[in-house]
Amino acid sequence: MRRRRRALAANAPAAAQAAAAALPIDRLPPFDWFSSYHALGSELDPAPLAARLAEAGGRLALPVTVAAEAPLVFRAWSPDEAPAMDAFGVPSPPASAPQVRPALVICPLLAFDRTGARLGQGGGHYDRTIAALRAQGSVFVLGLAYAGQEVEQLPAEPHDQRLDAILTESGYIEVRKD
């Protein structure tokens, strides 16, 4: 899936802009704070989507890894601020930035299916984080991916957290809740 995502990224330079334009903001639940992420490698760049959500009145936060087995924390962020490196060396808001709870989380992934199952990088960070956020109240999790990252079915374990929707350069996919 990493190889597939790299090929998709190389062949779709305008995918991030197309995905941002494809989002039907009126289909999202109300949110004040939203979390984006710093794209690593071939992950679909969420910057155009984050800009669109900010223009719609949302306030931006980024995830921060504080320890390998801990849930991510979210800190307020402005794209014009200088980043600090988190525990895994990912550019993040500095420790002095206010910690917030986003109602909307944009989630990177390696693969997804139409049930909302996602394959992440393998560390379980987003699964732990989404579980912790859902234990505190409502949160909407939006997977951001290239359309070619869709697979027919992903295996899911009890700890895996499902996406509420997926956004690709080809459109918005609502996940059916059973």
Question: Where in the sequence is the domain holding 169, given as residue range(s)?
Answer: 2-174
The per-residue pLDDT of the chain, averaged, comes to 93
What pLDDT shows up at residue 178? 54
- Each residue of 14-51: pLDDT tens digit? 999 999 999 999 999 999 999 999 999 999 999 999 99
Domain count, the chain: 1
**Could you write out the DSSP letters of every residue in the chain?**
-HHHHHHHHHH-TTHHHHHHHH--GGGSPP-SEEE-----TTSPP-HHHHHHHHHTT-EEEEEE--STTSPPEEEE--TTSPPEE-TTS-EE--TTSPEE--SEEEE--SEE-TTS-EE-SSS-HHHHHHHHHHHHS--EEEEE--GGGB-S-----TTPPPPSEEEETTEEEEPPP-
> Can you give the CATH number for the domain in which 82 is found?
3.40.50.10420
Q: Is the pLDDT of residue 68 over 90?
A: no
- Each residue of 131-155: pLDDT tens digit? 999 999 999 999 999 999 999 999 8
For residues 151-178, average pLDDT: 90
